[in-house]
Structure 1
Amino acid sequence: MVERVPWMAPVDYEIMLFFDEHAILVSPRVLAANIEYDRQYVSKRCRTLSEAGLLDIVDTGLYQLTETGAAYLEGTLDMSELESSEE
C-alpha cells in the first residue's frame, strides 16, 4: 500500500488505481460510474489530482494517469513532491 498524502481524499487512490488498471482515456462521468462515486465529486478530485501532476488532462474532459501518478502507486515517488499540493 502507498503512503497517503495529507491533502488526498480516500477516493483519490481509487481513481488512480482505476487508471493504472485500465490504460484508457476516461471522463469523470465514466470513472464515477465505474468506481461508484458521485460524478461531481470525482470530477473535482480529478482536477485536484491533475493540478498535483498525478493525472493528465489529455483532451477536454478526458484524463489519464501520469508517470508521476504511476510512480506514486508503485511507491517509488518522493512524497515531498506531493506535500505542497492543496485543494
Structure 2
Amino acid sequence: MTRADDAILEFLLNEGNRPLIANPSTVEANIDYKISHVRRRLRALQDGGLVEYYDEDRGLYQISERGKAYLQGELEAVDLESDE
C-alpha cells in the first residue's frame, strides 16, 4: 500500500457522504498524483479487491467493502500482502 492508494481510497470513500463513483481522470483531478500513477494504482487496488468497477465499459470505479474495511482499520496492509 502506498500514500497514493490511501488518497485514492479516501477520495472514493468520501467520508461523511455517499461514496463516489469516478473514472481515473476525476480521481487525478482531486488528489495530488498524475493520471498515469492513478491508473496504475487503481489497477493494483482492484487486484487487491479494494476497489471495483462500477461500470467497466465507462471505466468507473468505486470503493469496495474490502476497501472500506481497510480504511476503517479492520484490515491491515500486511493482511493485503499475504493475500497476493
Please give the range of the TM-score, normalised by the shorter of the 2 chains: 0.7 to 0.9
Number of residues of Structure 1 aligned to a counterpart in Structure 2:
79
CA distance in 2, matches of 1:58, 1:38: 22
Determine whether 1:29 maps to 2:25: yes
Which runs of 5 or more structure 1 residues have no equivalent in the other structure? 1-7
TM-score by length of 1: 0.80
Bigger RCO (CA 8 Å, 6+ sep): 1
CA RMSD of aligned residues (A): 1.8
TM-score by length of 2: 0.82
Which runs of 5 or more structure 2 residues have no equivalent in the other structure? none
CA distance in 2, matches of 1:11, 1:79: 14
- Runs of 4+ with >4 A deviation: none
CA distance in 2, matches of 1:12, 1:63: 13
Seq. identity, %:
39
More helix by share: 2
